[in-house]
Amino acid sequence: MTSAYRKSLFAVLLCAAISVVWGSYGGHSKVAWLDFRAIYAGTRCLIHGHNPYSVTDLEREYSSEDGQRPSGPSWGTQSITLYVNMPTAFIFLAPFAALPWVPAHILWMLLTGCVFFGALLLIWHTGARSSLDASTLLACILAANCELIFSGGNTGAIVVGFCVIAAWCLLSDRMVWLGVLCLGLSLAIKPHDSGFVWLYFVLAGGVYRKKAFQSLLVTAAVGAASILWLWHVAPHWLQDWRANLAAISMRGGINDPSPASITGHIAPPVIDLQAAISVFLDHPWFYNAATYLVCGALLLVWAAWTLRSRFSRPGAWFGIAAAAALTILITYHRQWDAKLVMLAIVPCCRLWSERSMTGKIALLVTVTAVFFTADVPLVFFDTFYDTSHLTNTGIAGHLLTLFLLRPASIALLGMAAFYLWIYLRSAEVPVKSVAESEVPA
């Protein structure tokens, strides 16, 4: 381990510590641990023999536990009264919900930190084999901008960590069993976060397809146990779940991507492509159709190329980087889900190490995507927009709104297009061969 490597490692760990401390301090606010409070109360509701998707049962659970129900702003009401998390996750969440609140949320924070930053360190180390400086820059930006993860406790951070660990294990052919387990758990908790990464391994074929289906068995086991438990306790949970999803997705709901959403002007905003397109024409039929057309075309090209091309490890990282960006764009996601962009660190460093124009573009595109999905910049832009009282009418107003409130969507679209382009020509682009065991000098 060289001196430069040790200094870079210290920098990444210091940035991670900043996020943990700052985020934990934010956990004492009126919206403290809002996301974890919701899944904690919902799972305890099921443990106590009630329907977590029933507003009445969930409210009763809150009232039975002193201090659980936060008195946050109006936009937080839907988060804590309408349980919408995947029913397949209850078995995973149950050990935490079985504990009293204090040890439960402390253990959740510890698990979140270990899984998420463990994944980031794996990716940073792998990228550092090609370019220590580029890998450290990207990892530090990511690590220093995770405050909302540790103030809200959303499951997205754990899912992203599991997904990244799985990709690293499978592509490096190390601890493959752990990769299979992590990918299966991530699919069970939030399939819309890790689904395209799983799909990549299915389409890649060979041993990777086998491992992908093995992970699906893990998902099936965890999901089946959770759903059977839920169905036994609450036979009518499905219609209640659908009603909750419809309520938070309707116009003005917290998951509505349009400017009309009650979370449309606060961080963390919805960052899918619908959110960006709705700035110009706020009609669901338009921004949904436009998103599915753009992302669907990119995804179709990506899938066809993955099926017909010969597998290579560098090419796999390019394909997964494109999949990570498309994952966030095509359907509902927020900032914590966008940490999946860390999967682009390895291919970016490989290209940067070539010292070519393509490498410079790769670093610019990746830094832009990482920066505009980071917590601090988006909070700053949101605050600036609200305090400046800028107009949102006319093309100039729409562009300003897009830049200040929806920059993540555009940055992710650029990242998806760029890495898909590299992926399509990866067989033609000479990528420096770096031994997997090599440590940066």
Q: What separation in angstroms does the CA of 378 have from each of 277, 384, 400?
A: 18, 10, 14
> pLDDT band at residue 434, thresholds of 50, 70 and 90?
very low
Percentage of the chain modeled with pLDDT above 70: 85
Task: Give me the residue spans of the domains in the chain.
Answer: 3-424
Supply 114's token pair.
């270990």
> pLDDT band at residue 351, thresholds of 50, 70 and 90?
very high
The DSSP H or E segment spanning 168 is: helix 156-172
Q: Tens digits of per-residue pLDDT, 371-425?
A: 999 888 777 766 666 666 666 666 777 777 777 778 889 999 999 999 999 999 8
Helix axes 191-204, 313-330, angle to 10 degrees: 150
Left, alpha or beta for 64 (phi > 0: left; psi -120 to 50: alpha)?
Answer: alpha
Q: Tens digits of per-residue pLDDT, 259-268?
A: 777 665 665 6
What is the C-alpha to C-alpha distance for residues 231 and 158, in angstroms, rounded to an integer?
Answer: 26
Supply 320's token pair.
């997964």
Q: Tens digits of per-residue pLDDT, 145-196?
A: 988 888 888 899 999 999 999 999 999 999 999 999 999 999 999 999 999 9
> pLDDT band at residue 430, thresholds of 50, 70 and 90?
very low
Q: Tens digits of per-residue pLDDT, 49-82?
A: 999 998 888 888 887 765 455 555 555 566 667 8
The predicted model scores a pTM of 0.89
Nearest in space to 215 (alpha carbons), one of 241, 190, 183: 183
